[in-house]
């Protein structure tokens, strides 16, 4: 099986996330880093976006999932992102996604959660 990898680095999103009082009242920035291993099922034609997975759709799904409602835990949001990507994008065979809060602590660049998953129907 041929694959290609789509990569997002530090996709910046303002989201409603967290359990602390100040997090319940306002949005805060999140950074999303993600890699999607996509099955190549046809030859790429330079003038036909339909011959590839349009990464704009992946980005829109990530942004929507991160901004649609308040989520208390980064772990929950990361799992929701994985479920949505596998549900909506059948070409994605594996993914790695990191969701981080750059403002969580003053003594580090960010704190976050990273998940790496394979499509459930690929389990051996």
pLDDT in tens, 30-57: 999 999 999 887 776 777 777 788 999 9
Note the pLDDT of residue 86: 97
Rounded average pLDDT over 61-72? 97
Which secondary-structure segment (H or E) carries 39?
Answer: strand 28-39
* Average confidence score pLDDT of the chain: 92
| pLDDT above 70 for 1 | yes
Domains in the chain and their CATH numbers? Answer: 3-122 (3.30.1130.10)
Lowest mean pLDDT among 12-21, 40-49, 69-78: 40-49
Confidence of residue 123 (pLDDT cuts 50, 70, 90): low
Please, which residues have CB within 8 angstroms of residue 3's CB and are 6 or more apart in sequence? 37, 38, 39, 40, 93
Give the 3-state secondary structure of residue 50.
helix
């Amino acid at each position: 099986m041929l694959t290609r990898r789509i990569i997002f680095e530090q996709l910046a999103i303002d989201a409603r996330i967290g359990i602390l009082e100040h997090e319940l009242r306002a949005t805060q920035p999140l950074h999303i880093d993600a890699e999607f291993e996509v099955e190549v099922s046809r030859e790429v034609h330079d003038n036909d976006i339909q011959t590839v997975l349009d990464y704009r759709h992946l980005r829109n799904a990530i942004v929507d999932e991160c901004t649609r409602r308040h989520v208390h835990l980064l772990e929950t949001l990361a799992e929701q992102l994985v479920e949505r990507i596998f549900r909506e994008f059948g070409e994605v065979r594996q993914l790695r996604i990191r969701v981080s809060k750059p403002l969580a602590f003053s003594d580090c660049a960010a704190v976050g959660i990273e998940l790496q998953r394979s499509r459930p129907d690929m389990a051996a």
